[in-house]
Amino acid sequence: MSNSSLLEMTAAFDCMHCGLCLESCPTYRATGQETQSPRGRIALVRALAEERLDYADVLPSLNACLLCRACEPACPSRVDYHTLVDEFRQAKPAKLLSWMKPAFFALLRFLRRCGVLSLAERIGTPTSRALAASVPSQPTLFPTHFTPPSPQLPQRGTVLLHLGCVQKSFFGDSLKSTANLLAAQGFQVEIPAQPFCCGSSHSHFGEPEKGNQMRTETVAALSQSADAIISLAAGCSAHLQEQSSIPVLDPLLFLNQQGWRTPPVTKKLRAVWDPPCQLDHVLNQAGAMRRALQECTHLQILEPEDAELCCGAGGMSYALAPEVSDAVTQDKIEKILRHKPDVVLSTNPPCRMRLETGLRKAGFKGEILHPVELLTVFSQP
């Protein structure tokens, strides 16, 4: 990226260095470092534009941004922070993006099953180690020829199921549970042929044009007439919702809006839910999701202290800046474990993977699930 195009980034010049964003930033909170704060990152980009720093000096700090966007509502100057980061990253798109193919995920599943990943978690580069550690211990693939059950009559409507790359490759069981749950609640579930990935990561890690194109293709594939697109990934939902004319919702949020036909029953459990940043800071649905969780599980859903802080996943940031991400995750895990949970809930796959990595390392023996699985796995007949 040329410095002149950086200079056009007015965002860097809207910031007046007041620092009111600092405490909203998970990486600043975890490290105490100015370079790991929104204000610090903006100062670095501005210094780059002013030719006071080189690109390489700025990169580590910008790589470590989790793009949780919690700083944006804290900014009195309304700095368009995420655009600044997105644009900065265009100069050097993350290499990982080109690996986001079905074959790579299949390889990771295979390596996890045969135990090679446990080894890879201990050797290799920090990035490869973080990546290896993030693959769930029991990944399940969503079958290509899955036929959703017929809706319980009378039918109340139709929904389109968005699969999503990570969701489909690692958490196929959650997708199956979702289809079954929606059908049992009276919805026709359609699973149209769709691109493997919605392009969200591409948009935020340096390839926005490609990301937008992938989104256009995904939205086109999910354009049948329906009540909603159902997605188990808050990150995908936020990305798709920007373009989709129909709501893109988490299944529980959707069912809670529609009203439960037969309220599900769950065991008495201590459940902690950590709201994903995309749901909280981008879609503004954390409150609605919280209510939905309480109502459908009849559990007191606990949240970690400072729940609004990111878990350290940040899409694929955890692999690009593992040290900073580790500090953020460690803090989150401590706060989750303070509740002594039986089960930890997450509604976004990268967060779920990140939490599983951290929780297992801390010796947590319970389940880490999307809440939709809580309703099926533990439901009492």
Partner 1 sequence: MDSEKSTAGRMKRKHLLVDLKHILGKAHVLTDPGSLLAYESDALTLFRSRPSAVILPKTETEVIACAKRLHQAQIPWAARGAGTGLSGGALVPPGGVVMALTRMNRILEIDPVGMRAKVQPGVVNAALGRAVEPYGLRFAPDPASQTVSTLGGNLAENAGGPQCFLHGTTTNHVFALRVVLPDGTVEDWGTPSGVQDGFDLRGFFAGSEGTVGIAVSIDLRLIPQPDEVCTFLAGYDSVTKACEVVSTLVAKGLQPVALEVMDQNAIRAVEDSVFRAGLPVDAGAVLLVEIEGSKDSVQKEKEAARTILQSFHPSVFKQAATAEERTQLWKGRKGAGGALGRLAPDSYVMDGVVPRSQLAAIMTYVEEVQKETGLHVANLFHAGDGNIHPHFSYDARDAEQCATVEDAGARILRKCLELGGSITGEHGIGLEKENLLAEQYTSEEINLMERVRQIFNPDDLLNPGKGLPMKRGCSEVFRRHAISHG
Q: Which residues would be at the binding site for partner 1 (CB under 8 A)?
A: 13-23, 28, 31-35, 40, 43-44, 47, 50-54, 57-58, 60-61, 73-79, 323
Closer to partner 1 by CB, 139 or 304: give it: 304
Q: How far apart are CA 104 and CA 45, in angstroms?
A: 33
C-alpha distance from residue 264 to each of 17, 104, 274, 289, 378 (Å)? 50, 37, 21, 16, 10
Which CB atom, from 46 or from 168, has the smaller least distance to partner 1? 46
Residue (49 or 100) nearer to partner 1, CB: 49
Give me the least distance between CB of 96 and partner 1, in Å please: 22
Minimum distance, C-beta of residue 48 to partner 1, in the bound complex (Å): 9
Nearest approach in angstroms of CB 2 to partner 1 is 17
User: What distance lies between CA 56 and its chain's CA centroid?
Assistant: 27
**Which of 263, 268, 285, 237 is closest to 181 using CA atoms?**
263
Which CB atom, from 126 or from 186, has the smaller least distance to partner 1? Answer: 126
CB distance 120 to 128 below 8 Å = yes
Min. distance of Cβ 89 from partner 1 in angstroms?
16
What CA–CA distances, in Å, run from 1 to 7, 49, 93, 316?
A: 11, 10, 11, 22
The owner of tokens 């040329």 is 2
Considering the complex, state which of residue 177 and residue 325 has its C-beta at the smaller distance from partner 1. Answer: 325
User: Distance between CA atoms of 328 and 158, rounded to whole angstroms?
Assistant: 40
Q: For residues 39 and 109, which CB has a smaller minimum distance to partner 1 in the complex? A: 39
Secondary structure element (H or E) that encloses residue 345, with its range: strand 343-345
Q: How far apart are CA 176 and CA 168, in angstroms?
A: 10
Q: How far is the CB of 223 from partner 1 (least distance, A)?
A: 35
Which residues in 46-58 are b (16+ Cβ under 10 Å) and which e?
bebbeeeeeeeeb
Tokens coding 67:
């793009």
Neighbours of 116 (CB within 10 A): 14
Chain centroid to Cα 76, Å, comes to 27
